[in-house]
Amino acid sequence: MREHLNDEFVKLANKHGYRSRAAYKLMELDDKDKLIRPGITVVDLGAAPGSWSQVVVERLKEKGRVIALDMLEMQDLRGVEFIQGDFTEDTVLATLETSLNGQPIDLVISDMAPNMSGIDLVDQMRSNHLGELALEFALKWLQPGGNFVVKMFIGEGFDDAVKNMRQHFDKVATRKPKASRDRSSEVYLLGLKRKA
């Protein structure tokens, strides 16, 4: 708890009105890779409490569309359409796809993580599964040239995920933003420019 309260990104989030320190992860990724631009459609998977959606809305400058999804409740956020439900369930995925109304997406961002059991291999497998589902969704809905960001954990299956993404994107990059804790094996995989 003390570490959390003394964390520079927690302090920054509190000061600037972001819902969590995770906002700074997306900001750093976007500053480096230019993911968010006005006029695009963005889907935010694993959105609660909403800090990534906050960053997206700010950077869209009221031009574009944001759809956020999480199994947890999320307080309303101006400019964000929120769907509450478990992304792994077909009915929830169908609701999300219906809301897209056939329109392709420019950017899919996924900060989804499983409920941690404390058993490394189990947590790794669950995390990989969520990453695979997010990629499946992205490949179905991203338009050519669109981008994909997914949280992954270094470990079993990580190299396979990178290899798989390389088939579908012009460039695949691994990033560890400064706001990610050093002791965490969390990284973000970026699929840049979806191949036609």
Q: Which of 151, 176, 178, 193 is catalytic?
A: 151
Q: Give the span between the Cα atoms of 179 and 46, in whole angstroms.
A: 18
Q: How many CB atoms lie within 10 A of CB 64?
A: 19
The dihedral over CA atoms of 19, 22, 26, 28, expressed in degrees to the nearest 10, equals 120
Q: Give the span between the Cα atoms of 175 and 44, in whole angstroms.
A: 18
Q: Give the span between the Cα atoms of 111 and 54, in whole angstroms.
A: 14
The question of whether 151 is a catalytic residue gets the answer: yes
**CB-CB contact of 71 with 55 (8 Å):** no
Question: Active-site residue numbers?
Answer: 151
